[in-house]
Amino acid sequence: MKKAWLLAAVILAGAGCFAAHAKRYFDLGVPVSGPAGPAFDRTLFLDRPVVEGIYDDFRIVYRISPTEINYYAYNFWAERPSRLVRDMIRDRLVAGRRFRRIEMEPGKEPADWTLRIKIFRIEEEDRVDRWYGRLAMSLEVVDPVSGALIAARTFDRLEPLAEKDAGLLAGVISEILAEELDAFLGELAAKRL
């Protein structure tokens, strides 16, 4: 009888340890509020993002020094960052009615423009005093027929998390992406195309 109670106590204690380390999954949000942006009477093909190798993973990267990175054991992206970023850009463009049509797969007729995306870093940067979200990317709009570059924007943003909590990273990354996408669209509109 004592052995049965002891075994039950060990099982319950072990279950408590596993519950304390439950896996968490994060998605990028779609912050649709903000100033009305430019509308383009064009179709846009949203190309698949190119992502630096270590970042195109479900595991969330956190950096503890300029040369040392780690992956969280219990915090994951809901999809690979290539998919999360592409979907957020699509959703924001559609919600803002920025283009006549957004295409995610090549069609019989080429779109008027192609948006190319490169993700250099999407990570948490942990410093002694504070944690930060970091997103480094480039956005390029090209003519799909001629390959001519119409507009480009490259950025590397580091923004603080409100507290040392990995659960806040996705929100900070979402805000950076939304702000940079809006700035890029403003620059594109300024070219008066």
Sequence spans of domains, the chain: 23-190
pLDDT of residue 77: 97
Higher pLDDT among residues 90 and 31, named by residue: 90
Nearest CA among 164, 88, 171, 96 for reference residue 125 = 164
Higher pLDDT among residues 21 and 13, named by residue: 21
pLDDT of residue 29: 82
What's the one-letter identity of residue 145?
V
Nearest CA among 193, 189, 182, 192 for reference residue 36 = 182
pLDDT of residue 15: 47
- pLDDT > 90 in the chain, percent: 72
Task: Supply 14's token pair.
Answer: 């072990």
pLDDT at residue 93 greater than cutoff 80: yes
For residues 26 and 169, is the Cβ–Cβ distance under 8 A? yes
26-66 pLDDT tens trace: 999 865 555 566 789 999 999 999 999 899 999 999 999 99
What's the one-letter identity of residue 24?
R
152-180 pLDDT tens trace: 999 999 999 999 999 999 999 999 999 99
Fold of 23-190: Rossmann fold (3.40.50)
pLDDT at residue 76 greater than cutoff 70: yes
pLDDT of residue 39: 84
Q: pTM for the full model?
A: 0.85
Mean pLDDT for 14-37 is 68
Cα separation of 172 and 176, whole Å? 6
Rg of the Cα trace of the chain? Answer: 21
Average pLDDT of the chain to the nearest whole number: 88
